[in-house]
Amino acid sequence: MEIGDLIGASRTKLNLTQDQFGKRYSVSGPAIFKFEKGYVKPSLELWLRMAKDIDITEQEAVLMWARGKLPKKFQSFVSMEPQSGQKAKKKEKPKKNANPDVLRKEILADRVAPKGLKAMLKDEDLWMLYKPTAQEIEVLREVFAPLGEGSKTSYREALRLIREFGEK
């Protein structure tokens, strides 16, 4: 997910206008608009303050900021994975008995979920054909969503990859 998307999602979650959100960080509403739309990036110092409030680790925030400054073709070179010896933010493991239908509704209601993932989960024919498990949906959300918005087709292919290379 891009910095602008995270800023917008955070502001929306707090139910604040761009002006109100900007006041928290001593910037204008139009500046927040530009950050959200990706026209400009906040300074690293400002982004670190925002990221802390969004509950993003300092390491992740710096990597996101640096990656966002690179040309698109080089952005994949910056890994978001913590280096050995550094503590990673713990991710919740998917519940083994989680209901895929409940998880589907949760993601569809999530404003910041990737459009491609939501499109795949909305498609009733794909849902009935593939019948993804809760664990597969979690992998799509945890592993593939950070790579970008994607398309319905790319998430369907990701599901096929999960099944092909997953544990049996």
Q: What is the pLDDT of residues 100-124, one digit of tens each?
A: 888 888 888 888 888 888 999 999 9
Do both 43 and 106 map to the same domain?
no
Same domain, 155 and 114: yes
pLDDT of residue 81: 59
Using the predicted structure, report yes or no on whether residue 59 has a pLDDT greater than 80.
yes
Q: What is the pLDDT of residue 89?
A: 46
Structural domain count, the chain? 2
Q: Does residue 92 carry a pLDDT above 60?
A: no
Parent domain of 26: 3-75
Using CA atoms, how far residue 86 sits from 53, 142, 147, in Å, is: 21, 20, 22
Least-confidence region, from 1-5, 20-24, 30-34, 163-167: 163-167
Binned at pLDDT 50, 70 and 90, residue 25 comes out as very high
Residue 34 pLDDT: 94
Q: Are 158 and 140 spatial neighbours (Cβ–Cβ below 8 Å)?
A: yes
23 assigned to some structural domain: yes
Of 88 and 133, more confident: 133
Residue 123 lies in a domain: yes
Residues 8 and 69 in one domain: yes
pLDDT of 88 higher than 50: no
Residues 25 and 59 in one domain: yes
Q: Where are the alpha helices (DSSP H) in 39-114?
A: 44-54, 58-69, 72-75, 100-109
